[in-house]
Structure 1
């Protein structure tokens, strides 16, 4: 019995130490992975979407009214400032060090090699090309679902308020 416990402990130690000894991903392999997965282009798409959202919010704030020339100028300045901030904060030069740090801390060299092997196949390239579209569609569908859910949540809240008022005996 003691020898089986000792053997089990040795096995656990060996397995644990092999995982601990796994070589962290190198900067070169992570850089290659980021190139293959087109991380820079994806970040640029995120920039463009954020810019579009900012411009849409500016127009939405008008609530269908035509702005005066002074208001139009203010909107243009605000939008330009927001776009500049988005471009600065989401620039590849600013984001790349974070990507490098997180990838090298998170993945082992073997894991990055496996990802590279997949992403360099036709199926992997299709995943890279089509995933932004899938994510955009998921976002759009989710927004619609959230809008529907929001209306339902408001109805539940109204019912609750009415129920609480009835329970307190106050109209």
Structure 2
């Protein structure tokens, strides 16, 4: 009897090791159901806004010439294009598939697919863009606060830095 119990426990605890690996077709179906591409594209669009609100103010110095401002704008546009290219769905999808394959079993994917095909799952997907928009708004607000605090900290650090004796002192 004791051997049978040990055998049953061994089989029970080894079941996860024999779980069916996630299939790419199931992963792709789940990504479609969850509108992962739409969320990815939305995140890229949000990154444009974040770049505009965080980097642009840093690059616009009071004494910047029109030529330097044009160069800064060109840099920001190139930066945004690089972000769009690197985070494009075409480049990201293989990573999503790999991550989902490493994370979920086929059985788990089938459960998730069943959920997202249900009325509750569909409702969740419909409301996800609103959640993402509200989260993005909060992130933007926090970035403004972070930049303000960083500028203050930078100013404080610069005031504490020893003066370079080779440069003339600034007149207050």
Please state which band the TM-score falls in when normalised by the shorter chain.
Answer: 0.7 to 0.9
Residue 81 (structure 1) aligned to one of 78, 94, 103: 78
Q: How many residue pairs get matched?
A: 148
Q: How far 1:60 moved relative to its partner?
A: 1.9
Structure 2 residue runs of 5 or longer lacking an equivalent are 153-172
> 1:121 and 1:44 mapped to 2: Cα distance?
25
Q: How far 1:103 moved relative to its partner?
A: 0.7
For the 8 Å contact 2:22–2:104, the answer to whether it is kept is yes
Within 5 Å, give how 1:50-89 maps onto structure 2.
Answer: 50-61=47-58, 65=62, 68-89=65-86
Residue 97 (structure 2) aligned to one of 87, 97, 100: 100
Q: How far 1:140 moved relative to its partner?
A: 4.3
Please, what TM-score do these two structures have when normalized by structure 2? 0.72
Q: How far 1:131 moved relative to its partner?
A: 2.1
Query: What residue number does 1:115 align with?
Result: 112
Please, what TM-score do these two structures have when normalized by structure 1? 0.73
For the 8 Å contact 1:58–1:75, the answer to whether it is kept is no
Residue 36 (structure 2) aligned to one of 35, 39, 50: 39
For the 8 Å contact 1:26–1:104, the answer to whether it is kept is yes
Structure 1 residue runs of 5 or longer lacking an equivalent are 155-171
> 2:30 and 2:80 mapped to 1: Cα distance?
28
